[in-house]
């Protein structure tokens, strides 16, 4: 599994739940200033988001959940090749090529991006990691 989004909030979340290089192979981000660096405190390298299509990991943990619409719409090639994006906040949502509805502005309301079982309105509140 890999992560998407090398922001400060991602580092906070990963530290809070104990995720490190044992859980994530690498993190991708579009910000070129972060490429070749490591996520603070967890020793996970940061690469260009193009690595998702090149390496095609099974799962991507979305660490920039506030940008989910933008990131999901940018990753159609990764999703169409069978990849899945896991969105941990506000509720666990698994996105694959078959579950993406037309991207609408994220309002924080159920159904703003996804329809069906992945809709936060119908998802239970999950625990990140046991």
Global pTM reads 0.76
Residue 12 has what pLDDT?
A: 92
pLDDT confidence of residue 39: 95
Where the chain has pLDDT below 70, the residues are 101-130
pLDDT value at residue 128? 38
SS (H, E, C) the chain: CEEECCCHHHHHHHHHHCCCCCCCCCEEECCCCCCCCEECCCCEEEEECCHHHHHCCCEEEECCHHHHHHHHHHCHHHHHCCCEEEECCCCCEEECCCCECCCCCCCCCCCCCECHHHCHHHCCCCCCCC
Please state the CATH superfamily assignment of the domain spanning residues 2-122 in this structure.
NAD(P)-binding Rossmann-like Domain (3.40.50.720)
Q: In the chain, what are the domain boundaries?
A: 2-122
């Amino acid at each position: 599994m890999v992560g998407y989004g090398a922001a400060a909030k991602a580092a906070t979340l990963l530290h809070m739940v104990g995720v490190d290089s044992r859980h994530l192979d690498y993190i991708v981000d579009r910000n070129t200033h972060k490429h070749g660096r490591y996520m603070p405190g967890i020793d996970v390298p940061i690469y260009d988001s193009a690595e998702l299509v090149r390496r095609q990991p099974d799962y991507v943990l979305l660490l920039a959940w506030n940008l989910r619409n933008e990131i999901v719409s940018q990753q159609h090639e990764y999703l169409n090749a069978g990849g899945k994006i896991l969105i941990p906040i506000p509720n666990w949502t698994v996105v694959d090529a078959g579950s993406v509805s037309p991207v609408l502005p994220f309002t924080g309301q159920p159904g703003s991006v996804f329809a069906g079982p992945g809709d936060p309105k119908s998802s239970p509140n999950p625990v990140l990691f046991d």
